[in-house]
Amino acid sequence: MAPWDLASVVLKLLSLLSMAMVLGGGFSFFLLVHREQEIKQRVLAYMIIGAGTGIVATVLFFLVQIGGVNQTGLSGMFDAQIGGILAQSGLGYACGLRLVGYIGVFAMAPLAAWHNHTASKTRAFVCAALVYSFIVLLLGSSFSFYGHVAELGLIARFAILLHVVAVSWWIGSLYPLLLVFKAERDSILRSVMERFGQLAVYIVGFLIASGTYLAIAILESPNELLQTPYGSSLLLKLIGVAALLLLAASNKFFIVPNLDREISVGHLRSSISVEMVVAVAIIGITSYFTTVVGVSHG
């Protein structure tokens, strides 16, 4: 793999993880809005770290694309002429939307903290929710400006937004759920997990529906799943998602209903930890194949 490609893969991985931290962290904050303040503060810190990492990864990713076009060494990353051209392309628009979205986290965090301390909790909640909705729209829609989806219609662009948001909500919520184990009683833990399980049904539905539509729109025939590198990457992702679904189903139907038993609490913690590892692997596969491998029909 060429150095520029390797750098692009690593930075895309960081960017996707950052997006999961921001979107999943925000989703978790509102899920845990009535829980202990310590948990909410740690979730907000999780979002801020994700946003800061996302800003750095996005800027570096854009510079690496300039360097990849220029092919003149590290100094080529700062070629103003090529940078200007890329800034006006779909890649530039996508990076711009992401930067604004990540910066929005630093506006949401004070509003969310205001919710913790002010008597006007409803107003603070609404303001934070509005800013978060804006962040979701910016980060999710950034994927529709370049890559395979940019060549498709509006439905595909909406599908990729839905897909990215659903994946980020799910994956990015796993770490905040682990925080609940350390700060809440077993009865509260069960309540939170049951609520998350109810919402996860809709998230998984969005994920499967949007992913299926995108696969049909991008691949010309089912044979491409086995005959093209892109299809092979999609199959690997599907295997990973299937593993996540099995773990999630096990949590929802077998472990969470028995959280009054200490052994079940340990099993749930381990299951969520395994989900996080599988999720990172899926993001890594996505980063590699969307950077190095394109759709090859025929």
Give the tens place of pLDDT for each residue, 238-290. Answer: 888 888 888 888 888 888 887 767 667 778 888 888 999 999 998 988 888 87
Closest Cα to residue 140, out of 276, 217, 27? 27
Residue 124 has pLDDT above 80, yes or no: no
- What average pLDDT does the segment 185-192 reach? 70
Residue 298 within a domain: no
Q: What pLDDT, in 10s, does the model give residues 12-40? A: 999 999 999 999 999 999 888 777 778 88
Residue 12 within a domain: yes
Residue 297 within a domain: no
- At residue 153, the 3 state secondary structure works out as coil
Residue 297 has pLDDT above 50, yes or no: no
- d(CA 241, CA 86) in angstroms, rounded, equals 33
Please state the domain count of the chain. 1
Lowest mean pLDDT among 158-162, 172-176, 235-239, 263-267: 263-267
- Tally of CA atoms within 13 A in the half-sphere of 70 that contains its CB: 21
Cα 40 vs. chain centroid, distance in angstroms?
Answer: 19
pLDDT of residue 121: 64
Residue 203 within a domain: yes
pLDDT band at 115 (very low <50, low <70, confident <90, very high): low
Bigger pLDDT: 50 vs 154: 50
Closest Cα to residue 163, out of 152, 149, 175? 149
- d(CA 43, CA 176) in angstroms, rounded, equals 6
Beta strands in 41-122 (DSSP E): none
Domain that holds residue 280: 3-292
pLDDT of residue 244: 87
Is residue 6 exposed (0-12), middle (13-18) or buried (19+ Cβ within 10 Å)? middle
- d(CA 99, CA 135) in angstroms, rounded, equals 10
Q: What pLDDT, in 10s, does the model give residues 60-98? A: 999 999 999 988 888 889 999 999 999 999 999 999 999
- d(CA 229, CA 298) in angstroms, rounded, equals 12
pTM equals 0.89
φ, ψ at 46 (rounded to 5°): -60, -45
- Answer for the pair 134, 97: CB distance below 8 angstroms, yes or no: no
Secondary structure element (H or E) that encloses residue 245, with its range: helix 229-250
